[in-house]
Structure 1
């Protein structure tokens, strides 16, 4: 019995050490996590703004591409010259065909840069004592009539008309048979120097001598020279100078 008690006493003494080893240490308190912030029900959270969407930009159309067919081969194996091709998307109209029975229009001749002069000019003469029956009545009951004279191509109309009047041997146009006219300048020796036209007035410069057969030749000379110069260029009035003097002054001297 004594031995049993010793065993029991030893067991009782060692029990706390064994129990102490088997006891789980008490758990430590974990600090509570912070509570989420309270949301006020009266305020509504503002949503984040969406990023701006870029506007579409116009794009240039793709460049047209040309399609070049392969060059055909000619006899002998040499490649022919490539034909011109039109860009894709364009239509080329075929050239119109001219019927064989219709001739193409003739092309207009290119201007030579020089205007051809008139083929005829008109000089004025006198029908003595005609009284205006065959022309314009003036002076000593005479008539003033125009006679056509041929002129060379390219010759100035004013110079050609005045020279025909001053030339007593000037022949009229073949198609015109003038009556027996009188030239009051046939006895004078005058030369044409120059002339001009400003659109209204024609001016003629002469040099030489005036010879007349009487007082009735004064209006005849003036009418012949004035009407010849005016009709040559289509002027309204004429100014005639002889040796630097007006025609009226030259006629008074003679």
Structure 2
């Protein structure tokens, strides 16, 4: 039931009962605590008891509204709006993207930097966990990448020379010029041409992750060149 339908049309705007005018009391006497005229007929005491304060009770309720009910003129209590915004969109951190480098075999530099056995070095975008350091994320993506990936240039299949190795990223640092990477595990080249491929993939992935111009990579405490020679 709507609220406006439950209040008589003649009701005052305030929800607090408003006393009606009374006859003046005789001089020297105090006014009797009788209800306003018409509310408590002396010939009908039951009528006075039934009406109490003289304010009609709204239909559907057992009596008059309590005196503590706020007046319509009082400011309404503040509550969150139905359409109030939640957390800022910027707080929802999306997954970052890093670049891991693969090899296009015998590509001759057509789709990337030519090196080694007439191969090309090409980058692949990889997703990383939100908040992860770029260097750790990029090297981790390369070490965990599958052996092959399809390059966007003509659908050529790129090769990951590190796919058979078992390497783990330990730590890394960047001083503004040189990026240093420490790995542990086993290097497993698949042939002579895999040696320059592994070196190029690790070096370029590390450089690109932080924007360095020089990379120093260590495997089990040895330089990458020494580790590849021993492997």
TM-score scaled to structure 1, two decimals?
0.51
Q: 2:98 aligns with which of 102, 108, 121?
A: 121
Q: 1:135 aligns with which of 83, 89, 112?
A: 112
Aligned CA distance change for structure 1 residues 152 and 159 (closer, same or farther; 3 Å): same
Could you tell me whether the CA contact under 8 Å between 1:118 and 1:155 is conserved in 2? Answer: no
| Higher strand proportion (structure 1 or 2) | 2
Q: Deviations for 1:162-181, whole angstroms, at most 9, x for unmatched residues?
A: 01100134998xx9997311
The Cα of 1:119 is off from its aligned counterpart by 1.3
Q: Deviations for 1:5-58, whole angstroms, at most 9, x for unmatched residues?
A: xxxxxxxxxxxxxxxxxxxxxxxxxxxxxxxxxxxxxxxxxxxxxxxxxxxxxx
Could you tell me whether the CA contact under 8 Å between 1:120 and 1:148 is conserved in 2? Answer: yes
Q: Report the counterpart of residue 16 of structure 1 in structure 2.
A: none
> Structure 1 segments of 4 or more deviating over 6 A?
175-178
Could you tell me whether the CA contact under 8 Å between 2:169 and 2:183 is conserved in 1? Answer: yes
Secondary structure of 2:171's match? strand
| Structure 2 residues not aligned, in runs of 5+ | 1-87
Aligned CA distance change for structure 1 residues 132 and 176 (closer, same or farther; 3 Å): closer
Q: Report the counterpart of residue 191 of structure 1 in structure 2.
A: 168
Distance 2:101 2:118 in 1: 16
Q: Report the counterpart of residue 208 of structure 2 in structure 1.
A: 231
Structure exhibiting the larger radius of gyration computed from Cα positions: 1
Could you tell me whether the CA contact under 8 Å between 2:101 and 2:142 is conserved in 1? Answer: yes
CA RMSD of aligned residues (A): 2.9
Number of aligned residue pairs: give it: 145
Distance 1:253 1:127 in 2: 26
Q: Report the counterpart of residue 71 of structure 1 in structure 2.
A: none
Matched, 1:250 2:227: yes
| Structure 1 residues not aligned, in runs of 5+ | 1-108
Q: Report the counterpart of residue 127 of structure 2 in structure 1.
A: 150
The Cα of 1:223 is off from its aligned counterpart by 0.3
Could you tell me whether the CA contact under 8 Å between 1:201 and 1:236 is conserved in 2? Answer: yes
Distance 2:125 2:144 in 1: 14
Q: Deviations for 1:90-135, whole angstroms, at most 9, x for unmatched residues?
A: xxxxxxxxxxxxxxxxxxx7x99xxx69710000000000000011
Could you tell me whether the CA contact under 8 Å between 2:148 and 2:159 is conserved in 1? Answer: no
Q: Report the counterpart of residue 41 of structure 2 in structure 1.
A: none
Show the 5 A alignment for 1:155-194: 155-169=132-146, 179-194=156-171
Distance 1:130 1:169 in 2: 20
TM-score scaled to structure 2, two decimals?
0.56
Distance 2:154 2:215 in 1: 28
Distance 1:167 1:241 in 2: 18
Could you tell me whether the CA contact under 8 Å between 1:133 and 1:143 is conserved in 2? Answer: yes
